[in-house]
Amino acid sequence: MKKKIALITGGYSGEAVISYKSAITIENNVDKDKWDCYKIDINPNGWFYMGTEKAIVDKNDFSITLDGKKIVFDAVLVGLHGTPGEDGKLQGYFDCLNIPYTSCNAATSALTFNKRYTVAVAAFAGIDVAKSIHLFKKITVTPAAILKEIQLPVFVKPNNGGSSIGMSKVNKAEDLQVALDKAFKEDEQVLVEEFIKGREFTIGVFKSKGEVIALPITEVISKKEFFDFEAKYEGASEEITPAKIPSEITNRIQDAAKKAYTVFNCNGVVRIDFILNEANEKPYMLEINTVPGQSEASIVPQQVKAMGWSLKEFYSALIEECFI
Ligand SMILES: Nc1ncnc2c1ncn2[C@@H]1O[C@H](COP(=O)(O)OP(=O)(O)O)[C@@H](O)[C@H]1O
Ligand SMILES: [Mg+2]
Check whether 249 has a pLDDT greater than 90. yes
pLDDT at 232 (0 to 100)? 64
How far apart, in whole angstroms, are the C-alpha atoms of residue 77 and residue 219?
Answer: 27
Structure-derived torsion over alpha carbons of residues 7, 12, 17, 21, reported in degrees to the nearest 10: -10
Please compute the mean of the pLDDT values over residues 295-299 and round it to a whole number.
92
Among 218, 233, 273, which is best to mutate for testing ligand 1, by the most ligand atoms less than 8 A from CB? 273
Structure-derived torsion over alpha carbons of residues 112, 114, 119, 121, reported in degrees to the nearest 10: -60
How far apart, in whole angstroms, are the C-alpha atoms of residue 74 and residue 38?
Answer: 11
Nearest C-alpha to atom 13 of ligand 1 is from which residue? 227
pLDDT at 225 (0 to 100)? 73
Closest ligand to residue 286's CA: 1
Please compute the mean of the pLDDT values over residues 235-260 and round it to a whole number.
95
How far apart, in whole angstroms, are the C-alpha atoms of residue 228 and residue 175?
Answer: 18
Amino acid at 50: M
Quote the pTM value. 0.96
How far apart, in whole angstroms, are the C-alpha atoms of residue 51 and residue 67?
Answer: 12
Integer angstrom CA distances of residue 189 from 159, 238, 301: 5, 31, 32
Please compute the mean of the pLDDT values over residues 243-248 and round it to a whole number.
98
Is the CB–ligand 1 distance for residue 286 below 6 Å?
yes
Q: For residue 202, what is the enclosing H or E element? A: strand 198-208
Check whether 20 has a pLDDT greater than 80. yes
pLDDT at 290 (0 to 100)? 97
Domain 3-102: CATH architecture, name and number where available: 3-Layer(aba) Sandwich (3.40)
- The answer to whether the CB of 202 falls within 8 A of the CB of 271 is yes
Please compute the mean of the pLDDT values over residues 216-243 and round it to a whole number.
82
Check whether 72 has a pLDDT greater than 70. yes
* The ligand 1 atom nearest the CA atom of 132: 1
* Cα 66 to middle of ligand 2, angstroms: 39
Closest ligand to residue 222's CA: 1
Of 194, 195, 213, the C-alpha closest to 204 is: 213
Nearest C-alpha to atom 1 of ligand 1 is from which residue? 195
Is the CB–ligand 1 distance for residue 200 below 6 Å?
yes
Question: What CATH number is given for 132-194 in this structure?
Answer: 3.30.1490.20
Closest ligand to residue 129's CA: 1
pLDDT at 247 (0 to 100)? 97
**Could you tell me what percent of the chain has a pLDDT over 70?**
96
Select the CATH number that applies to the domain covering 110-129+197-290 from these four: 3.40.50.2000, 3.30.470.20, 2.160.10.10, 3.40.50.300.
3.30.470.20
Give the side-chain half-sphere CA count within 13 A for 249.
23
Q: Are strands 46-50 and 35-43 parallel, antiparallel or unpaired?
A: antiparallel
Domain map of the chain by residue range?
A: 3-102, 110-129+197-290, 132-194
Count of CB atoms situated within 10 Å of the CB of 182: 16
Indicate the SS3 state at residue 65: strand
Chain-centroid distance of CA 168 in Å reads 20
DSSP state of 16: H
Is the CB–ligand 1 distance for residue 287 below 6 Å?
yes
* The ligand 1 atom nearest the CA atom of 115: 17
Please compute the mean of the pLDDT values over residues 221-233 and round it to a whole number.
72
pLDDT band at 87 (very low <50, low <70, confident <90, very high): very high
How much is the mean pLDDT over the chain?
95
Amino acid at 228: D
pLDDT band at 52 (very low <50, low <70, confident <90, very high): confident
pLDDT at 237 (0 to 100)? 83
Of 175, 180, 177, 178, the C-alpha closest to 191 is: 180
- Which tens digits make up the pLDDT trace of 116-153? 999 999 999 999 999 999 999 999 999 999 999 999 99
How far apart, in whole angstroms, are the C-alpha atoms of residue 278 and residue 195?
Answer: 12
Of 123, 91, 37, the C-alpha closest to 266 is: 91
pLDDT band at 233 (very low <50, low <70, confident <90, very high): low
- Which tens digits make up the pLDDT trace of 148-181? 999 999 999 999 866 667 999 999 999 999 999 9
DSSP state of 101: B
Of 182, 174, 179, the C-alpha closest to 155 is: 179
Is the CB–ligand 1 distance for residue 130 below 6 Å?
yes
